[in-house]
Amino acid sequence: MPADNPVKVSVIIPAFNEVESLPELMDRITTVLTDYASENYDIWVIDDGSSDGTAGEMERLVTQYPSLNYVRFRRNYGKAAALMEGFRRVRGEYVITMDADLQDDPEEIPELVEMLENGTDLVSGWKKVRHDPLSKRLPSKLFNAVTRWTTGINIHDFNCGLKAYRKNVVKDLNIHGELHRYIPVMAHFLGYSIGEKVVQHHPRQYGKTKYGVARFFRGFFDFITVLFLSKYTKRPMHFFGMGGLIMTGLGLGINLYLAIYWFMGGSLSNRPLLFLAVLLVIVGVQLFSIGLLGEMLAYQERGRDKPQIREIIE
């Protein structure tokens, strides 16, 4: 599609070894979008280093579908990198992300876009009835419950691949590693409104899942990362200072007790508690120092951090 043509809907599809699914997926997406948005759409398949013949199949599909675009990575970088590449390239007013395995339903796109048109900035799909093995469903429920409780964002499925965004949301996002799981959290802390829609989830038809047990450990560490980056990037002293205050207070309290004990004639030569008190004070002072250094770095960045403006009326 020429760069000067307006685009209403852009679809981003990260793909990794899903060659069997792509022909049917392209047919279904183009059918839906042709009916809904006429020729006013584009599709971006981001090939995350596939080794199963995806490149050859996509070269054929690109000639078949004029609105289809294909980006191929030299190696596997991960879903977050694929999404960021798509976010950088899309031009649509509304952006849809979905997986390439046919478990997401393209027929959901019009209703997702309608929710955006009604004012929501990001709509996350909710696979209320999920056709995955129990080994995936139970950890997912736990992950979603913990994330919902700690962030206060009342949605049920943070990691659903089927999401809809206003264009300015994807342009403001900066994800890496495994942080694609927490896109609603990051968008929420940027000030965008988050909605949810129940979507259909289909059993996998081809291939096998790309996620193993290791993703749960990576997800836990990424959860800590996104909470810290979202809440304390601009005020690191609030995080490190609290830890420093607690440890220094405990250390000084123990030292005060030992000083009184010594004045009353007690011996400190066999009291390991003294070493613990000294250690607590040292660690507390170090945390305070880290907090102050963080505040100095954050102060330098604040001038570049412009507030997100929703609307200007003059």
196-226 pLDDT, tens digit per residue, is 999 988 877 776 665 555 566 666 677 777 6
158-184 pLDDT, tens digit per residue, is 888 899 999 999 999 988 777 888 899
18 φ/ψ angles, rounded to the nearest 5 degrees: -125, 40
Highest mean pLDDT among 27-41, 93-107, 177-191, 207-221: 93-107
What integer best gives the mean pLDDT of the chain?
A: 83
Predicted local confidence at residue 142, as pLDDT: 82
Token pair listed for 165: 């965004």
Beta strands per DSSP E along 21-146: 41-47, 68-72, 94-97, 122-126
Q: What is d(CA 22, CA 20) in angstroms, rounded to the nearest whole number?
A: 6
Asked which of 104-108, 228-232, 257-261, 292-296 is least confident by mean pLDDT, the reply is 228-232
Q: What is the mean pLDDT of residues 239-252?
A: 86
Residue among 66, 159, 164 at smallest CA distance from 109: 164
What percentage of the chain exceeds 70 in pLDDT? 83
| H/E stretch holding 195 | strand 194-198
Predicted local confidence at residue 229, as pLDDT: 66
The better pLDDT of the pair 133, 87 is held by 87
Q: Which residues contact 190 (CB under 8 A, 6 or more apart)?
A: 169, 172, 173, 308
Q: What is the mean pLDDT of residues 107-124?
A: 94
Predicted local confidence at residue 231, as pLDDT: 67
